Structure 1
Amino acid sequence: MDSVLNVDSLTASYRKNKVLNHVNFKVQPGTLTAIVGPNGAGKSTLLKVILELHPRLSGTVSCFGSTYAQVKSRIGYVPQRGTVDWDFPTNALDVVMMGLYGRIGWLKWPKREHRELAMSALEEMGLGSYADRQISQLSGGQQQRVFLARALVQDADLYFLDEPLAGVDAATEKVIMDTLNTLKSKGRTVMVVHHDLQTVEEYFDHVLMLNRTVIAHGATAEVFNQANITRTYGGSLRWMGDRLG
């Protein structure tokens, strides 16, 4: 089976600090992968380099056998909520419609069909009644759902999400994970930067364990164990209990 994402010898830095060093992995279609690692491990940087939002020093990245620029219409991205200017004067429906600009075209007005698609995505997130609400007036969980709706409306084949479950309420966490599992069931591929090791086994079928380089990557049942966690985080995580012993 051809991989949808192939990262080969990827190296990147911030200023003179190397944050990714010879990262190698392939991702198969229809998988739901958690990217885990300690703070400063390069998780968010990895997504940004793949999406050409941050330069790489060396190595290659291919999506569907092509460069990101050639297939970006097939890729959706949900950034960390803390990196977004939530004071920007726009409502929830308009944010979701931004995901349709590839179809609408820049400097063109959206048509009725575009508004209906965006509204449907909002309703799928349980936010149909919030369509006209200013984005700054939504709770953190609601804002995260709006950005997920923006990614969904693209109808992409490959999705990247940067800590979508960080700081959200239990209801939003369930909505997000149900949505990601639905995408997986449709054969879409999803990669998620994730911080809660206790839910990795429950939520994800694959895991990429990263600390500037790949420590382990594969099916969760095979690679998510105490030995690899210790290698990734540099020490024992006692709060994980005996589940991974």
Structure 2
Amino acid sequence: MKVLDAANLSSAYRKTTVLYDVNFTVQAGTLTGIVGPNGAGKSTLIKTLLDLHPRLTGEVRFFGTDLTKVKKRIGYVPQRGSVDWDFPTNALDVVMMGLYGQIGWFRLPRRERKRKALEALAKMGMEEYADRQISQLSGGQQQRVFLARALVQDADLYFMDEPLAGVDAATERAIMAILRELKEKGKTVLVVHHDLQTVDQYFDHVLLLNRTVIEHGRTEDVFTRENIARTYGGTLRWMEGEAYHAHPVV
């Protein structure tokens, strides 16, 4: 089943075109890495798909219909750097915000909302920080809280903008374990990712982007030297040897 279909999509910042003629579809139950060089439009792609940034042309369909009709089925984790972490709230309240769009949220007892939020925090190993102000958390802890907020939504389709950027190894493992669990439950996840050395380990599908879609499909078919070179141009060096397994390095 198609959960996302983008056709002839383009967008710009002021007079500079950032994305042009973007076409791709995403099937249910897949874990897709969105990969490309800096300035390729990866974050802009997610924002344009979700109507957080205006599009110049194109059509986007979610679950065969318009975004406005299925917003409750979609979760979004923005880049950590785009969030105001000085906002005076604690981790528990941030996660409970993820329940806002659910039917009957205002009728749902606070005790039930709190229980759901604490369960999501516990899944991310953050239950003991529930009452901690978000500004007092480390970068990795903040990322875990935002992922917990997405989990509590129980969405069918998730967009995550560089959830692994700047986190420690333990947090990276925890996040990837959750993403794989979501996939196993039939959820669909798209992740903006920057580390080329882990793409083939983490994702079953990859979308190579450089202002337009270079290639999209199963990782084993798409994530090749030729396609990576087409995506990154002359910015790559290939590290050979047993320690590198011929991985590209930007």
TM-score band by shorter chain is over 0.9
C-alpha separation in 2, matches of 1:43 and 1:196:
14
The residue correspondences of 1:62-141 to structure 2 (distance < 5 A) are 62-103=61-102, 111-141=110-140
**Structure 2 counterpart of 1:189:** 188
Give the secondary structure class of the aligned counterpart of 1:22: strand
**Structure 2 counterpart of 1:55:** 54
TM-aligned CA deviation for residue 68 of structure 1: 1.1
1:40 aligns with 2:39: yes
Partner AA of 1:225 in structure 2:
T
C-alpha separation in 2, matches of 1:220 and 1:230:
15
Partner AA of 2:78 in structure 1:
P
The residue correspondences of 1:211-222 to structure 2 (distance < 5 A) are 211-222=210-221
- Give the TM-score taking structure 1 as reference length: 0.96
- Give the TM-score taking structure 2 as reference length: 0.94
Contact persistence 1:198–1:240 (CA under 8 A): no
Give the secondary structure class of the aligned counterpart of 2:33: strand
Contact persistence 1:225–1:244 (CA under 8 A): no
Partner AA of 1:95 in structure 2:
V
**Structure 1 counterpart of 2:177:** 178
1:14 aligns with 2:13: yes
Contact persistence 2:124–2:145 (CA under 8 A): yes
C-alpha separation in 2, matches of 1:227 and 1:95:
43
Partner AA of 1:74 in structure 2:
R
TM-aligned CA deviation for residue 112 of structure 1: 1.0
Q: Choose the corresponding residue for 1:243, options 227, 242, 246.
A: 246
Partner AA of 2:185 in structure 1:
K
Partner AA of 1:151 in structure 2:
A
Contact persistence 1:158–1:188 (CA under 8 A): yes
Relative to structure 1, is the Cα distance of residues 224 and 119 closer, same or farther in structure 2, using a 3 angstrom cutoff?
A: same
Q: Which moves more between the two structures, 173-182 or 226-235?
A: 226-235
Contact persistence 1:117–1:153 (CA under 8 A): yes
**Structure 1 counterpart of 2:227:** 228
Give the secondary structure class of the aligned counterpart of 1:126: coil
C-alpha separation in 2, matches of 1:137 and 1:110:
28
Partner AA of 2:27 in structure 1:
Q
- CA deviation string 1:96-151 (max 9, x = no partner): 00000012768778521111000000000001100000000000000000000000
TM-aligned CA deviation for residue 243 of structure 1: 2.6
Contact persistence 2:196–2:247 (CA under 8 A): no
C-alpha separation in 2, matches of 1:104 and 1:188:
20
The alignment-based identity, stated in percent, is 70
Relative to structure 1, is the Cα distance of residues 200 and 96 closer, same or farther in structure 2, using a 3 angstrom cutoff?
A: same
C-alpha separation in 2, matches of 1:239 and 1:87:
41
Relative to structure 1, is the Cα distance of residues 11 and 60 closer, same or farther in structure 2, using a 3 angstrom cutoff?
A: same
Give the secondary structure class of the aligned counterpart of 1:103: coil
Give the secondary structure class of the aligned counterpart of 1:216: strand
TM-aligned CA deviation for residue 236 of structure 1: 5.6
Q: Which moves more between the two structures, 156-165 or 101-110?
A: 101-110
C-alpha separation in 2, matches of 1:182 and 1:90:
29
C-alpha separation in 1, matches of 2:101 and 2:57:
29
C-alpha separation in 2, matches of 1:95 and 1:110:
17
TM-aligned CA deviation for residue 182 of structure 1: 0.1
Contact persistence 1:37–1:232 (CA under 8 A): yes
- CA deviation string 1:63-84 (max 9, x = no partner): 1011111101000000000000
Partner AA of 1:51 in structure 2:
L
Relative to structure 1, is the Cα distance of residues 54 and 105 closer, same or farther in structure 2, using a 3 angstrom cutoff?
A: farther
- CA deviation string 1:189-245 (max 9, x = no partner): 000000000000000000000000000000000010111111001126214436369
Q: Which moves more between the two structures, 19-28 or 107-116?
A: 107-116
